[in-house]
Amino acid sequence: MPHPVAHPRPLRLIPSLAAANLRHEWILTLCLVIALAAVIAPLLVLLGLKHGTIETLRERLVEDPVFRELRPAQTREYSPQWFVDAGRWPGVGFLTPTVLPLSSVLQVPHPERERERALYDLVPTAPGDPLLLENDAPVPRDGEVVLTAEAAHRLGVSAGAEITGRVTRARGGRGEAAEAALTVAAVLPPRAGSLARIYAPLPFVLDVEAYKEGYGAPARGWPGDSPDPFLSFDGVVLLLPEPLPPIERTGLIINTGFARIGELDTDGLAQRLGWSPPGEWQGYDLFTPGGTVTLSGIRAVEQKLRGRDRVLLPYVQDVRLTAGTTELHPVGVSLDRADAERLGLPALPWGRFTGRVAADGQLTTALADLGRDARVEVTAEGVAPLAFPLRIVGASPLERPLVPAELLGVLRTAQQRALEYDPDQERFLMQRGGYRGFRMYARGIDDVPELYRRLTDQGIEVIAEVDAIQRIQVLDAGLGRLFWLIALLGVSGGVAVLVASLYAAVERRRRDLGVLRLVGLARRHVFFFPVAQGVIIAGLGLAAGMASYLGLAVAINRAFAADLAPGEKFCTLPPGYLLAAVAATLLLAVLSSLAAAWRATRIDPAEAIREQ
């Protein structure tokens, strides 16, 4: 008896046989396809509703930067370093300083009615400002501003118009004003804010604040004072030719800003001043533990000692200057010629103590053994590194360099406030100590709660739309759990139906599968027969389910079109979700057919012969 000849490509034959069998039993196949579509379509619609609803709400929050803003609820000082550190926090999309509310007011005359002058909030901005960029407005450059819709309406201007910003202040009992020509770079839509505001670059806002405080802005031609640093000292040494009575000694710390007064011997004078005056001098140390001495305190002591023969020497301890690799420990003394001779010192080029931070280069002169008429670049420690030139005008009579007491007062202030040296004006200037507020925007609405918690942990009270965002997150999580519960129930039913149907089909086709084994197909070939049927049924059910979903999605979106903005959909799924649904359905179909496939491999070909 000749052996049966196997099909040359059995794996190609199996799918065609499986499809032919499904066509032969088309009524049963149609029932299975409808059953699967009845499971797939509702799941896709439910997932589409979840995704569409949450994404619509989320996009409405994301597209409006107001929901990503965190605003300080109180005024306090924020150091420049705080902005550097906070700008590196995860989730921070934009951060810029702001100034005091009273200093951020700009007067703008109406372009056509000069006498009509209204006040507008001046808000600083910087590159990357989401409130401007996400409302199709550019970040203004120097000389440009961006107006809110309300501000533009009041002024009657549009983008490209020219307006005049007017800053006023009262100084010395009289009013002063400065003006700046500004170009309107853009007008924000109403959704960006209902208040009349002007967004301008941060340097312009800082210049406005400085002018209101009495300082000038030379770059803009606005006159005013220079931000000279104040002088601060660790204490004052009082030298008298005779001891001071106890009552008068106590009076020197009443209403003067000093807290204590103590006697100094020769060693104590040397420790405080860096040198010991010759002769019979009675020394007293006036100081405030843990605090500094200002010029007003020194003036108050001078008033109480008026008419007495005395010498007041403000001192600062532990000031170090670095000149290259050399470390200098200067002594600060400012005396007129007569007092210098009495204390055993030569005439000092800078003269007596004035308490002024003059801009004539006199403050940075010194007596040191570094070569006459030398110019040495030195660096002082402080809040920020302070570099300045030190002009040597002679040799020091002491073992340490001798500098004006005012210079040490400036360097003592530099330990509390950041200073800078202007080489053009040859003077020290006070840098900004800090800012009174900030504008912060999160990268996304999901970052807002974490930034809110981080700010509150630092003791910073902020205003943010945390409640609205958390409601969306809770709704998203709730709908997600509900969907997966329903999906688990529906998928379990669909898998059960598919497993039972395929297994029953194998039992019905036992003889036919046995014949296939007789004609030469191996067990592994027969294994794929129910698998192919499961994939075909799943594919047909998936197509019917997706068609039903698309029809229902269109109907739902049309029904709720009146409540949706252009481009929004109430029921929608991204392509990635649909591809995942296809892959999941086919995978479940394959898994569901494994029991039937295993049963098919257990069919003995002899059964087909016996039934014949």
Does the pLDDT of residue 564 top 60, yes or no? Answer: no
CA-wise closest residue to 584 among 547, 552, 546, 551: 546
* % of the chain at pLDDT higher than 70: 75
Q: What stretch of H or E contains 327?
A: strand 326-328
pLDDT for position 223: 86
Average pLDDT over residues 549-562: 74
Structure tokens of 50? 């979840």
pLDDT over 60 at 503, yes or no? no
Give 449-467 pLDDT, tens digit per residue.
889 899 999 989 888 877 7
How far apart are the C-alpha atoms of 310 and 239, rounded to whole Å? Answer: 6
Give the pLDDT confidence score for residue 149 in this predicted structure. 92
Q: Position of tokens 């001891």?
A: 243
Sign of the C-alpha dihedral computed for residues 338, 344, 346 and 351 taken in this order: negative
Q: How confident is the model at residue 509 (pLDDT cuts 50, 70, 90)?
A: low
Task: Give the per-residue pLDDT at 406.
Answer: 92
Q: Who wins on pLDDT, 584 or 80?
A: 80
Q: pLDDT averaged over the chain?
A: 80
- Identify the band that residue 5 occupies on the pLDDT scale cut at 50, 70 and 90: very low
pLDDT of residue 331: 93
Q: What is the Cα Rg of the chain in Å?
A: 43
For 184-198, write each residue's pLDDT tens digit: 999 998 888 888 999
How far from 130 is each of 68, 127, 138, CA to CA, in Å? 9, 9, 10
52-67 per-position pLDDT tens digit: 666 665 555 555 677 7
Region of poorest pLDDT, from 25-29, 179-183, 237-241:
25-29
Token pair of 169 as six digits: 């202040």
pLDDT higher at 137 or 10? 137
Does pLDDT of 237 surpass 90? Answer: yes
pLDDT band at residue 38, thresholds of 50, 70 and 90? confident
107-127 confidence digits (pLDDT tens) = 888 877 767 778 899 999 999
Q: What residue ranges in 472-580 does DSSP mark as E strands?
A: none
Mean pLDDT value across residues 428-445: 85
Distance of alpha carbon 237 from alpha carbon 240, whole angstroms:
10
Question: Which tens digits make up the pLDDT trace of 382-394?
Answer: 877 889 998 888 8
Q: How many residues does the chain have?
A: 612
Taking only the tens place, the pLDDT of each residue in 292-325 is 998 999 999 999 998 889 999 999 988 889 888 8
pLDDT over 90, % of the chain: 22
Decide: 469 and 43 in contact? Cβ < 8 Å: no
- In sequence order, what are the residues at sequence separation of 6 or more whose Cβ sits closer than 8 angstroms to the Cβ of residue 547? none
Question: 3-class DSSP state for residue 509?
Answer: coil
pLDDT-derived band of residue 7, with 50, 70 and 90 as boundaries? Answer: very low
Cβ neighbourhood burial of 316 (10 Å; 0-12, 13-18, 19+): buried
pLDDT reading at 241 higher than 50: yes
Could you tell me the sign of the dihedral formed by the alpha carbons of 76, 77, 83, 86, in that order? negative
Q: What is the biggest distance separating any 2 CA atoms in the chain, rounded to whole angstroms?
A: 144
Q: Residue ranges of the domains in the chain?
A: 10-62+468-611, 71-228+434-464, 232-424
Give the Cα separation of 365 and 536 in Å (integer). 95
pLDDT of res. 218: 80
For tokens 């001098």, name the residue: 281
Cα 77 to Cα 436: distance, rounded to the nearest angstrom: 5
pLDDT-derived band of residue 373, with 50, 70 and 90 as boundaries? low
How much is the pLDDT for 21?
63
CA distance 66 to 525: 63
Q: Which residue has the higher pLDDT, 125 or 543?
A: 125
